[in-house]
Each structure stands twice: as structure tokens, then as C-alpha cells.
Chain A
Amino acid sequence: MAIAESAELFQVEHARPREQRRWLRVLLGKKLAMCALAYLAVFYLAGIFAPLVATHDPTKTEISVEARLAGSSSEHWFGTDRLGRDIYSRVVYAARTTIIFTFAVLITGGVFLGLGLGLLAGYRGGWIDTAIMRVGEILAGLPTLIMMLAITAAFRTHINNLSFDLADATWLSVDEARTLVKFVIIVGATVPFAWVGSARIVRSQALAIRELPYVTAAEAAGASTPRILARHIFPGVLPLFVVGLSAGMAGIAGAEVGLSFLGLGIDPPTSSFGNLISEGAGARFFEQFPHVLIFSSLPVIFFFFAWNLLGDALVDILEPRANQR
């Protein structure tokens, strides 16, 4: 059962611009959070430099009885899958898939829609605020799972045509265009439901800061709107925004993993943790070939765990009352 995270927990009444430098010190003092950061660093480096880190071509199949579902060995560290592909290399490339996906969602849904619309609604108020918040309300009212499934299912039958068109119009090869189209579809299915939460947090923060004396003073002194947004509102909003994002990171990445598990997200031959796990997920299969499920799920479980730890640590720092006194 999903427990809806209450936005209130992350809300503070007053921005604390002066305390920003304190952050880093406190964060560095938290051992668990540092472990999480270290793991994330490894994960991201491995994903970004996947071609260097991987030992095999992740799509290279070797269809033979000997190569099929072999356990770990010095040749295949994490063993092989049904088609004789190297699971370690597929995991490395799956990390890359996760990184690209979360990055795309963060930029579009988080920064562009969440931060942008939140600031706009909070600072400008009026009908803009009403409109943005109502659209958010409508989106929040839709059943996320069904909608995400429906969007991906509706588009997956057009993947080939879209990618052929794209390959014709650009310098991309068909394979690259295909991968890109798949990413666009799944990002497009996630983003509409990913921005509402952070826009709400940003908006209520911006509302509070707008009323603070130094902001009204700056307004009275004739500072321009972009200047006020950039100098006063944005720095005040940022900490909570970042906390919200890092706490929500596992959820965003999890959406792709879940959809791919169902075969509606990133599909083979492109690796994704979802399609890697789906190959090994079954009680009977697990009994005989535990390496497939273990090695393809642990890296991403730790990824989620690390982001959860980090998000939790950031909440702690920002809102010390919540966890620790």
C-alpha cells in the first residue's frame, strides 16, 4: 500500500537563508548519509561511464546451453541471463537507463514544471495561482497507475513508426532513435504526475517568503520581478525543493523500473532494471537461478535506499525537530 507522503512534514514557516552553510557540515557528520552518497557516486559513475565499466556488450547474446543462465564466474561476474547475455554489463547499462530517466524527469517535471510553476503560482498569486493549482488538483485526482499504463500502452504500438521518422529527420540511427522514443514515451507518462507535489511545496514556501519584510522592502525599492525571484525567493525555496526531490527520487526511478518490469517501459535489448528483474522474478525460477534476481535487483534496491537515506538526512537537517532532538 502506498502511503501518501504528507507535504506538511517538509514545510517550514520561515526560510533560513543564513543557515545554508551549516548544511554541509551537518550532512558530513552523518555517517549513514555519507555511505549513501558514496554508493550513489559509484552508481552514477558506473552508469555514466558504462562503456568503460562494462566487461561485455550488454546486448550480445550467446545462445547455447553452456552460456544460458550460468552462475557467477570470473568471466561473467554476475552470471548470464536466458539469452547468454552478461548480467553485470546489463546492470551497468541499466544504471545508465535509470540515470538518464531520472535526470530527464527532474529537468522537465522537477525543475521546469515543479519549481517554475510553483514559483509562478506562489509569487504571482491570483488567477495564475488558481489555474496552476487546479490543474495540479485534476492531475492528482487521476489514478496514476492506470494513466501511466494507458499512456505507455497507447504509444508502444507506434514506437517503430516514430523512431523511423525520427531517424529520417535526424542523424540518429534507427536504434538510437528507437531508444530515444522509448525514453520520451516513458518520461512523458511520468512527468504529468511527478511535478504536482514539488510545485505545491515550492508554492507555499514562496507564499511565505513573499510576505517577509526584506522582500516587501525590496519590492518597495523598485526591484524587478526576476530580480526578486532570483535574489530572494529562489534561495529561500531551494532547500525544501532539493529535499523534496531527493526524498522523491526513489519514487521517480521506481516508476520506470515498475513499468519496465511490466514490459511497458524500456524494453530489451536496452537494459533497464525493470526488464532485468522481470526475467528472474518468479518463486520457482528464483529457486533454481537465484543469481538473476539477486544481482539485477540489489544494485537498484541500494540505489533507492541510498536516496531514501539521503532525503531523510536532508529533512533532518532542515527540520531538526522531525527526527532528532
Chain B
Amino acid sequence: MSNRTLTLLMGAVAFLILAVAAVFGIVLLGGGGDDDGTDSASPDATRTPRSSSSSSGICQGKSLIVPGNEPASVFDPIQVTDVSTSEYVVEIFGGLVTINRDLEVEGDLAESWDISPDGKTYTFKLRNNILFHDDTRVTAHDVKYSIERAADPKNASPTVRAYLGNIAGVNDKFTNKSGEVSGVKVVDDRTLTITLIEPSDFFLEELTYPVSYVVQQEQVEGDARNWTRKPIGTGPFKVAEYKVAEVIRLTKNDRYHLGAPKLDEVVFELGGGSISTRYENDEIHIGFVPAVDLDAIKGGNSPLSAEYKAIPNMATSYIQLNTKVAPFDDPKVRQAFAMTIDREQINEVLLYGYYQVADGFLPPDMPGYKESVSSYDFDPVRAKQLLSESKYATNMPRITMSYGGSTGDTPDILVAMQEGWKEALGIEVQLQVLDSAAYLREQRTGKFQMSADGWSADYPDPENFLGKLFGGNSPLNYTGYKNDQVDALLEQARTESSREKRYELYTQAEQIFMDDAAIIPTFWPVDHLLVKPCVVDYPAASMTIPKYRYIDIKED
């Protein structure tokens, strides 16, 4: 071995040491200068990120690259319950109706529909140019098949009863009392009637939910085990590739009946890594604003400000209190807890103003949202007084707040709440993490005293939040909350046909519900996105809709 080689090797080792030393040196020296002020924006603004217009290549062509979420479920419309999977399912499949970018119901497979005067029978007229991804024709029979498949108990759809239960015969089929769904009738290839048990002003909204989407009988029955990997739907995009934890590639459906997508493909990168850095490096088209940069970017102080978009999420995060167990069976304790979460402060300090403080349960983008509804403001003095009036004033039991976590870290927000309660009420709340499966299991058994949770809209109607979640008899009501007055209002709202009146009833129910504090709404999440300038017509929809068909990439 020659001496030269050895010198090279020595150099490599020495380089390593120097590199480590240099990095720490630079940071220690540089860090000292920056640390005087807390205006975190300045280091960001002084940096010179590469300008997006010179982006090497990602703005050429029609391939949109976005960070994606790993689907938690399969691409089967009747199995989907989570946002991460429905994001893909709504692009691949379609139903009779869909939601457009303005969150209005519009025809998808159906081009028009009539509602009978009693509000119970819907007659859908299908389009005549509708095709599956494999170019076979979609008929009314396919729609009926898909709904019956959803209701088939063998397929164990977790959502069919909640979203389609109002269709006559769905429950009979699901409980094996009948072989078919009597309420769905094929008149001819292009005409279908659906009969409801009771009139409903939000039935069309419910129909936009994936559970009624149309699947192809031939494929589903021909390849029962594997069809969901390359499902044949009717949506604007088809699945071209799915590599777990790596990539999901959707390619456009040229013959999509509502107009072919302008993009050739959408590439969802599932790998993770630092999304904001990758955005700045022109590796992806859509990025998220890191919380610490939000002020700078919002305030226009950053070169990225022009690419910034805030899109509210039709969702609410909240603390759920179990009204059946001590100490939360006493409304005064619940109210005291609600008054001692300083949500403004948590949002401003921990979240850098990322979210909106939830002053009510319905998120602002929800139709029927009323600003007049309000949750309890931060008021430690009043809280302390309420607590002393409660029946647990002197004998407060131990309290555990549970939360589901698929990552290890304790969320700062919960720690801040924990500290807040300790400080304002002198109550020590223990935090308990559960893996998501255990969380669901324990929640179902009603063992939790309090838990951190959230709900996001399935369709734009207040019923989805208030009726589904907090009716006294709703299976999703984990608070044990039951108030006859609220139940009566919800019941009335469910069958009321005037939309204005329904919204009014929901508002009343919501306010009573807020006053009783069975849940403490905390935040309305907001997505703060960065979108490359060459990406045009990005829909600012606050819920999961088929959105990629609107988007185009135009080089400037």
C-alpha cells in the first residue's frame, strides 16, 4: 500500500473531525449573534432562497408533486373512515353527486334529479357519457350494486349505516333481514330512484360521502382480494402506482365526464423528510409553512409570502369530557376546566397563531355556522369559584387525560393545558398516551375521564357535527352527554325541510351544548400552504373534495 493512499485516508479521518468541529464552531459563533432578539423571522428573511421561477424542471410538464399521507385504510369506498385515505378515494371514485370547489353539491354520475313533494323519493337521471376507468359504461345497475354491496353485512362497512341508513332497506340488508336494498330501484339504464325512510334536507350531502361511490362489480368480484390496489372507479384520476411509504402516483382519466384533468399525474410523496426545505429546494410543488416562519411569511417579509395560502379546515379539535364519571358528571367542574384553558395564549405562543381559537363547535366554513354561538372564555377567577361550588370542591378524584398517539412525543399543547389547570385550579391532570387501536377500544368502553380528540367534516352540513356526534343516542357520542332539550332540537332539525330553520335549530342546540361543556372546543385547524407560482387554480376547499382536476401547471 503506497504512502499516498494512506495520506488520503488520513485526510478523510481528519476531515471528519474538522467537519464536526467546524459545524459546532459556526453555530456557536453565529448563534451568539442571533439570540439577542426573539424575532425569529430575521434569519429566514436574510437567507436567499432560490427563486422559484428558476426552478429546475418541476414547473415544466404537467406532473404535480405533493407531500402525501400514507392511507390508513384501503382504496375501497365502503371501508374508508379516515381523512388520509379519503383524500385518494375521492379522486379515484365517484358517486351520483359530488361536492365542487365552492362546497356545493353538483351532479357527478347524475346529471339531474327530482325530489318528490313528500321529500322521500329522489329520481336520478344519469349522464350518458359516463365510463369506468377501463372504458366500460356505467349504468344505474352499477349504482344499485354499489349501494347493496355497501349494505352487505359480509363486507362489514363501518360507515354504511351512519351515512346511508336513511335509505329504505339498507338496515334490513345490513341485518340480514332482506337480500336487497328495497329503497334503490333501477328504472332503466339511465334512471334510478332512491326512497328514504324519512325526508331529509341533507341526503344529497350524505350521498357525497365515499360509502355510496360506484365500484365495478366485475372487478370487485373477480379479484376480491387484490382489486383495491388498482381499483377501477369513475373518478378524475386512476391509481398508477402505490409503493408503501414511498409514493402514490395518480394519472389522469382522459375521459372524465366532468372534464379531463389538466394535470397528467399527481405524485404523492409519502416518505416525509423536511417538507419546507424540500419545497424551497424545488423538489415539491406544495409545502407547508413551518409554524416558526408563519409570522414572517404572513407579514410579507419573506420571499415566500407571494406563494402563501391559508386554507381553513372544516374541522374542530376539542377536549372531550365524560359526563358519566367523576368529576365531570358535575357541570360546574366541566365549566371550570373549560374556563382555564388559555386557548388564545396557547395558539399564539405554542402554535405561532397557526390555528383559530374555536369559539364554538361548528367550524366557521360550515354552512349554518353562527358567530353568536360561543364557548367559555378564559376566566380563572370564575372557574375557581365554580369549582368551589361543585360537589368535588374538597374531594377531587384523580384525573387522567387520554390521547391517541402513533408517534411517541407528548404534544406541547396538552402539556400547556396540564400546566394551566394546575396553576389555575390546583388540579394535577395526568396525561396518558395510548396507541390508536387501544385508544379506540378504551374510548368505546366509556372508561376515559377526559380525552383529546377531533372531528372533521364528511359533508358540509351541521348535522355531520352535531347530530352524528352528540345526539343522546348517537353511537359516536363518547361524552355520555344526554340532554332532552338538545335531543329534541336535533330530532326536529333532522326532518325539517327548510334549510334556514334547520340551521336555526342547530344553532340553539349547539349553544346549549357549549354551555353544558361536555366538550371543550379548542382549535379550528388551518392549513398554511406554500404553492409554487406555476401551480394555478389550487382550490381553497376547506374539506376533502376531488380537487386535483381543477389544478394546472403553467410555466411563467
Contacts and interface: CB of A to CB of B under 8 A. Distances in A.
A262 interface: yes
Interface string A260-301: 001110011100000100100011111111110010000000
B43 A287 contact: yes
A164 B399 CA distance: 11
B416 A61 contact: yes
B38 A70 contact: yes
Nearest to A298: B24
A275 B407 CA distance: 13
Given A63-B416, A290-B27, A291-B31, A68 B38 contact: yes
A264 B408 contact: yes
B415 A283 contact: no
A197 B512 CA distance: 65
From B43, B292, B345, B410, residue with most partner A Cβ within 10 Å: B292
B349 A71 contact: no
Interface stretch (B81-89, B184-192, B425-433, B535-543): B425-433
Interface in A216-240: none
Contacts of A160: 400, 430, 432
A63 B28 contact: no
Nearest to A82: B412
Interface in B480-519: none
B34 interface: yes
A157 B433 contact: yes
A196 to B, nearest CB: 27
B277 A157 contact: no
Contacts of A19: none
Interface string A43-80: 00000000000000000010111101111100000010
Nearest to B419: A61
A157 B408 CA distance: 11
B415 A263 contact: no
Contacts of B290: 284
A294 B38 contact: no
A178 B433 contact: no
Nearest to B434: A157
A124 interface: no
Interface residues of A, number: 43
A159 interface: yes
Contacts of B292: 284-285, 288-289
A286 B290 CA distance: 13
A83 B24 contact: no
Given A61-B415, A278-B409, A294-B27, A284 B350 contact: no
Interface string A70-114: 111000000100111000000000000000000000000000000
B407 A263 contact: yes
B438 A174 contact: no
Nearest to B28: A294
Nearest to A84: B349
Given A63-B345, A278-B409, A283-B277, A175 B428 contact: yes
B30 interface: yes
Interface string B409-448: 1101001100100000000101011110010000000000
Nearest to B290: A284
A101 B40 CA distance: 36
> Which of A70, A71, A285 has most chain B Cβ within 10 Å?
A71
Interface in A160-176: 160, 163-164, 174-175
A290 B35 CA distance: 9
Contacts of B348: 65
A299 B433 CA distance: 29
Nearest to B273: A283
Interface in B430-469: 430, 432-435, 438
A288 B40 contact: yes
Contacts of A288: 40, 43-44, 292
A153 B408 CA distance: 9
Contact of B36 (A71, A284, A290): A71
B415 A83 contact: yes
Nearest to A66: B38
Given A174-B398, A288-B292, A291-B31, A268 B349 contact: no
B136 interface: no
A294 B410 contact: no
Nearest to B401: A160
B395 interface: no
Given A68-B38, A284-B290, A288-B40, A263 B409 contact: yes
Nearest to B36: A71
A69 B415 contact: no
Interface in B324-354: 342, 345-346, 348-350
A153 B435 contact: yes
A71 B31 contact: yes
A70 B38 CA distance: 6
Contacts of B433: 156-157
A157 B435 contact: yes
A283 B274 contact: yes
Contacts of A157: 432-435, 438
9 contacts: A153-B435, A156-B433, A157-B432, A160-B400, A267-B409, A269-B415, A283-B274, A284-B292, A287-B43
Going nearest first, the 10 A-B pairs with the smallest beta carbon separation are A263-B408, A71-B35, A263-B409, A290-B31, A160-B432, A262-B408, A290-B27, A61-B419, A157-B434, A63-B349
